[in-house]
């Protein structure tokens, strides 16, 4: 992959592209959130994660944005190709049961979009920015509706004394 020279204006441009992509994704997420299946998914994530401090949200968002984009778009996409890397991205975003299938489909679509942005921009900075912003806003929203402590998945059996 060609790595362009980093200048202040190129960094600003990549961050701007990433912020715009995040805005589109978050807008689509907001529209999808009106469907009951998406409301249930968000509530399930809230139960699993519990409330997160602002610093925890930021750390998780930045770490996942960098880590996943370096792996899927930076390392895998040049080796296995755009389609397989995007499919793998969707596949690792699965949950323990079928209630999480919407999340997998969403991640699959975002994986293809991010892969396309990397091919267009020839840089990871825009998709790292977008991924971190999407995760940060989503985690913040989920954390605000979460119970104070994480809970087991609602499909898990209750704890019984042994």
In a domain, 151, yes or no: no
pTM of the model: 0.86
Q: How many helices (H) and strands (E) does the chain have?
A: 7, 0
In a domain, 161, yes or no: no
Percentage of residues of the chain with pLDDT beyond 90: 66
- Checking if the pLDDT of 1 tops 80, the result is no
In a domain, 3, yes or no: no
Range of the domain at 76: 8-145
In a domain, 28, yes or no: yes
Looking at residue 98, the DSSP 8-state letter turns out to be G
Better-scored residue on pLDDT, 129 or 98: 129
In a domain, 154, yes or no: no
d(C-alpha 81, C-alpha 65), whole Å? 20
For residue range 24-56, list pLDDT tens digits in order. Answer: 999 999 898 888 888 889 889 998 888 999 999
In a domain, 157, yes or no: no
Residue with tokens 């996942």: 64
Domains in the chain: how many in total?
1
Residues 73, 85 contacting (CB under 8 angstroms): yes
What's residue 153's pLDDT? Answer: 59
- Checking if the pLDDT of 150 tops 80, the result is no
In a domain, 150, yes or no: no
Percentage of residues of the chain with pLDDT beyond 70: 88
In a domain, 38, yes or no: yes
What's residue 148's pLDDT? Answer: 72
Q: With the C-alpha atoms ordered 35, 41, 44, 50, is the resulting torsion angle positive or negative?
A: negative
Distance (Å) of CA 117 to CA 36, 53, 111, 123: 31, 31, 10, 8
């Amino acid at each position: 992959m060609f790595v362009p020279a980093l200048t202040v204006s190129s960094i600003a441009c990549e961050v701007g592209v990433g912020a715009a992509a995040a805005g589109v994704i978050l807008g689509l997420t907001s529209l999808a959130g009106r469907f009951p299946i998406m409301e249930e998914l968000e509530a399930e994530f809230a139960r699993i994660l519990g409330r997160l401090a602002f610093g925890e949200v930021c750390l998780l968002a930045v770490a996942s944005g960098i880590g996943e984009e370096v792996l899927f778009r930076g390392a895998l996409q040049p080796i296995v190709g755009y389609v397989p890397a995007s499919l793998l991205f969707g596949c690792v975003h699965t949950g323990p049961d079928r209630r999480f299938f919407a999340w997998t489909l969403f991640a699959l679509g975002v994986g293809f979009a991010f892969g396309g942005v990397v091919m267009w921009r020839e840089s990871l900075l825009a998709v790292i920015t977008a991924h971190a912003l999407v995760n940060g806003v989503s985690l913040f929203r989920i954390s605000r509706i979460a119970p104070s402590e994480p809970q087991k998945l609602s499909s898990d059996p209750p704890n019984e004394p042994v």
